[in-house]
Amino acid sequence: MRVIGRGNTAEVLEQLDDKVCKLFYEGYPNSAIEREYNNAKLMQTMSIPMPQVYEIVHVGVRTGIIYSRIQGQSMLEKLLQDNDVNFLVNQIADLHKKILGYHTCEVMSYKEFLQLCIGKKTNDNIDIYNEIEGLPEGNCLCHGDYHPGNIWVDKNGKVLVIDFMNVCHGPWQYDVARTYILISEGDVPQEISNREEIIYMQKQLAEMYLKKLHVLYNEISQYVSIIQKCREYELS
């Protein structure tokens, strides 16, 4: 099986019949893999544009999920190729509105997800735990990792979303805030020659994304604050 992509948690391997295997690295928790699979199966019933999910498989000591293959490119790749900012912003905002329009409590609460990010409650993080507990409830479907690298355009121009590990339910403002952070604060390697220009562009894209959704920053600010605190644990 040929490796056609690599990420932080898994490799993507080419399969027969226009399928791929998202094969997680050895030692990655089976509970997390099963959660992604169940999240994807649920979202598939909602007619959200996404690759079809088939089954969990085992390859030696590693575990993977079989998906249909997308013949296309990520929105991030398309932006770098075409430099069409308006296309990217319009497409990611429109698809995000579609996802947030669904309601469910069949997936993890966003509060549970944030607490998973910071780990077991200790004296050092108890203030963050209490802050999370005090946040509003909600039942909007939240993708949890919605950014241009996880949104693809296939060869027919159809826009699809991938990566369902962080799917949860909560207020729509939470998922918009997380996307705002992922766009505006995504890592840019130090060795990139035009790094400052890219960082500036990220901020501009994030602001355009909010404007397209008709969302003001103060509507998501409390979620931005807690997500930033939790991401310090995620990235450490």
DSSP the chain: --EEEE-SSEEEEE-STTEEEEEEPTT--HHHHHHHHHHHHHHHTTT-S---EEEEEEETTEEEEEEEPP-EEEHHHHHHHH--HHHHHHHHHHHHHHHHT-B-SSS-BHHHHHHHHH-S--TTTHHHHHHHHTSPP--EEE-SS-SGGGEEEETTS-EEE---TT-EEE-HHHHHHHHHHHHHS----TT-TTHHHHHHHHHHHHHHHHHHHT--HHHHHHHHHHHHHHHHHHT-
The percent of residues above 70 in pLDDT, for the chain, comes to 96
Which segments of the chain belong to CATH 3.30.200.20? 3-68
Q: Which band of pLDDT confidence, cut at 50, 70 and 90, is reported for residue 1?
A: confident
Q: Which numeric CATH code is attached to 3-68?
A: 3.30.200.20
* Per-residue pLDDT at 197 exceeds 80: no
Span 115-144, mean pLDDT? Answer: 95
Provide the phi-psi class of 119: left if phi over 0, else alpha when psi is between -120 and 50, else beta.
left
Residue 50: name the closest of 27, 72, 68, 31 by CA: 68
Residue 190 pLDDT level (bands cut at 50, 70, 90): low
Domain with CATH 3.90.1200.10 in the chain: 72-234
* pLDDT tens-place string over residues 40-97: 999 999 999 999 999 999 999 999 999 999 999 999 889 888 888 999 999 999 999 9
Range name among 72-76, 104-108, 199-203 with the lowest pLDDT average:
199-203
Q: Which CATH superfamily is domain 72-234 in?
A: Aminoglycoside phosphotransferase (APH), C-terminal lobe (3.90.1200.10)
Weakest mean pLDDT among 49-58, 92-101, 130-139, 193-202: 193-202
pTM score: 0.93
